[in-house]
Amino acid sequence: PEAMLALLTQWAPPVPIKPFKAKKIYSAEEIRAAIKEGALVNYYQPKVSVASGTVVGVETLVRWHHPKDGLVFPNQFIHVAEEHGLINDLTQFVLLQAFTQAKKWQQEGFELRVSVNVSMDNLTSLDFQDHVVKLAADAGILPQKLVLEITESQLMGDMRVSLEILTRLRLKRFRLSIDDFGTGHSSLAQLRDIPFDELKIDQGFVHRAWKDETLRVIYDASLALAKQLNMESVAEGVEDRDDWELLRRTGCDLAQGNFVSKPLLAEEIPEWIKVWLNRVQTELLVQSTN
């Protein structure tokens, strides 16, 4: 027993255990000030074609460059903004930056679709549609180049309203994407009624779906549904080569995730594209050996 005790007191965890740090949630006042002062910064995560490696577009992911706390992620402030009537201002800010950036890339010779995440409260705001149309026109970007992503769970809140607004945006030629698919509760009938262009399979059903049967069932069903309803399929949360190979084998259209690239600052995108296209040629288009 003495020896055991000695061993136990010597034991150290293989990796140091980090002290638990609770996620800080910010107040509406702080967020309001951040929007006003321009402290929110858009990051852009590439979406690429699985079959060809082509860079098809980027998804805009907002972060807050906080003077004291550093980089703050959306799960620490988006829901507060939604609850306190700040999401329209926030989205306007993100859209303006994203559309302006899309134009800049275009002028540099990069034809990229730019996706922006929108909340249900944005869609139900009366002037949202006019605002998006105006922002796109002012930036000189065709609506076909812009993708509005809305999560499946928010969509299901009020189907009747979302159906009408989304249909109108679709008629203006904006592309519509259903985000985090698999985590909401849409029915097949509802999906058929909304003119979505793109279906994003939630990352929870992508990473490791090649080895976990339960994940795989949902991944396969989502992919089949996208194909049946003529939507482009996107897998998010592609983290490693095994994930990537599953997409290749199953014919998923687009990939997004850290295996391709983490979200980047706008100015990093051109250099990243160069490096990526080289990686596609040398590494990714060859069949993996396992």
**Footprint on this chain of Mg ion (rule: CB under 5 A):** 117, 149, 179-180, 236
Length of the chain: 290
Is 289 an interacting residue with respect to ligand C2E (CB under 6 A)? Answer: no
Q: How many residues bind ligand C2E (CB under 6 A)?
A: 22
Nearer to Mg ion, 10 or 75 (CB): 75
Among 117, 177, 186, 222, binds ligand C2E (CB under 6 A): 117
Nearer to ligand C2E, 34 or 78 (CB): 78
Could you say which of Mg ion, ligand C2E, none residue 124 binds, taking C-beta under 5 to 8 angstroms by partner kind?
Answer: none
Among 78, 102, 225, 247, binds ligand C2E (CB under 6 A): 78
x/- string (CB under 6 A) for ligand C2E, residues 40-59?
Answer: -----x--------------
Residue 222 is inside which H or E element, if any? helix 213-228
Nearer to Mg ion, 198 or 236 (CB): 236
86 touches 28 (CB < 8 A): yes
CA distances from 76 to 11, 45, 82, 117, 188 (A): 36, 19, 12, 16, 32
CA distances from 2 to 5, 10, 11, 119, 290 (A): 5, 12, 14, 61, 49
Could you say which of ligand C2E, Mg ion, none residue 61 binds, taking C-beta under 5 to 8 angstroms by partner kind?
Answer: ligand C2E
DSSP state of 240: S
Nearer to ligand C2E, 53 or 204 (CB): 204
Give the shortest CB-251-to-Mg ion separation in angstroms: 20
Is 75 an interacting residue with respect to ligand C2E (CB under 6 A)? Answer: yes
Nearer to ligand C2E, 203 or 222 (CB): 203
Is 203 an interacting residue with respect to ligand C2E (CB under 6 A)? Answer: yes
Could you say which of ligand C2E, Mg ion, none residue 73 binds, taking C-beta under 5 to 8 angstroms by partner kind?
Answer: ligand C2E
**Rounded Cα–Cα distance for residues 240 and 261 (Å):** 11
Is 74 an interacting residue with respect to ligand C2E (CB under 6 A)? Answer: yes
Sign of the torsion formed by the C-alpha atoms of 171, 172, 173 and 178: negative
How many other CB atoms are there within 10 angstroms of residue 114's CB atom?
A: 23
Could you say which of Mg ion, ligand C2E, none residue 198 binds, taking C-beta under 5 to 8 angstroms by partner kind?
Answer: none
Among 239, 248, 277, 280, binds ligand C2E (CB under 6 A): 239
Residue 135 is inside which H or E element, if any? helix 128-139
Burial-class residue 135 by CB neighbours within 10 Å (0-12, 13-18, 19+): middle
Sign of the torsion formed by the C-alpha atoms of 49, 59, 182 and 207: positive
